[in-house]
């Protein structure tokens, strides 16, 4: 069975754009290979080997993006009618130790953006929050030790 990858519509569009850009890069890399090949002896041609390596990495990226897009399960958080934390939730937490609030949206692995509070559904914090409700307290194991949070709000926007 193929593992489905949850992703928002915006995340799916970003993956499509990355794939399009990678495919548009192909002809340029092929041209680089042809130019380097024209310089003669391929066994000692660093430009040729670099261009071939670049081509291999580009093709691997294209295959990976195509696979991710094929396995994508697009989820619209605004359509979720849930009272507990699931994919797409925007959760405001209160750090029990220092009364600091932090807000995270739980998104797919390809959408992570810590600066904007977007964390992977596979992250330790998200895994600890799943199926919890407002008012619940959760303990999260972090590299700096365990942290206790209270769920203040859960929104789906």
Q: How confident is the model at residue 55 (pLDDT cuts 50, 70, 90)?
A: very high
Q: How confident is the model at residue 154 (pLDDT cuts 50, 70, 90)?
A: very high
pTM of the predicted model as reported, rounded to 2 decimal places: 0.81
Residue 79 pLDDT: 93
Q: How far apart are CA 119 and CA 38, in angstroms?
A: 48
Residue 96 pLDDT: 92
Q: How confident is the model at residue 42 (pLDDT cuts 50, 70, 90)?
A: confident
Backbone angles phi, psi at 96, to 5 degrees: -60, -30
Q: How confident is the model at residue 2 (pLDDT cuts 50, 70, 90)?
A: confident
Q: Is 90 exceeded by the pLDDT of residue 144? A: no
Structure confidence by residue, pLDDT tens digits, 56-90: 999 999 999 999 999 999 999 999 999 999 999 99
Q: How far apart are CA 104 and CA 116, in angstroms?
A: 8
CA proximity to 132, closest of 74, 76, 77, 92 = 92
Q: Is 90 exceeded by the pLDDT of residue 109? A: yes
Run of H or E residues at 74: strand 72-74
Q: How far apart are CA 61 and CA 23, in angstroms?
A: 10
What domains does the chain contain, in order, with CATH numbers? 5-74 (1.10.287.180), 77-155 (3.10.50.30)
């Amino acid at each position: 069975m193929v593992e489905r990858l949850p992703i928002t519509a915006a995340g799916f569009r970003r993956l499509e754009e990355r794939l399009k850009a990678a495919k548009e890069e192909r002809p340029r890399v092929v041209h680089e290979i042809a130019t380097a090949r024209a310089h003669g002896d391929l066994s000692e041609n660093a430009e040729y080997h670099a261009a071939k390596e670049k081509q291999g990495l580009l093709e691997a990226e294209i295959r990976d993006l195509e696979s991710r897009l094929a396995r994508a399960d697009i989820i619209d958080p605004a359509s979720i009618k849930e009272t507990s934390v699931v994919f797409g939730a925007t959760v405001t937490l209160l750090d029990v130790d220092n009364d600091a609030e932090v807000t995270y949206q739980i998104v797919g692995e390809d959408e992570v953006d810590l600066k904007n509070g977007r964390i992977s559904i596979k992250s330790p914090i998200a895994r600890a929050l799943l199926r919890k409700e407002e008012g619940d307290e959760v303990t999260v194991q972090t590299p700096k030790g365990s942290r206790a949070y209270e769920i203040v709000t859960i929104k789906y926007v």
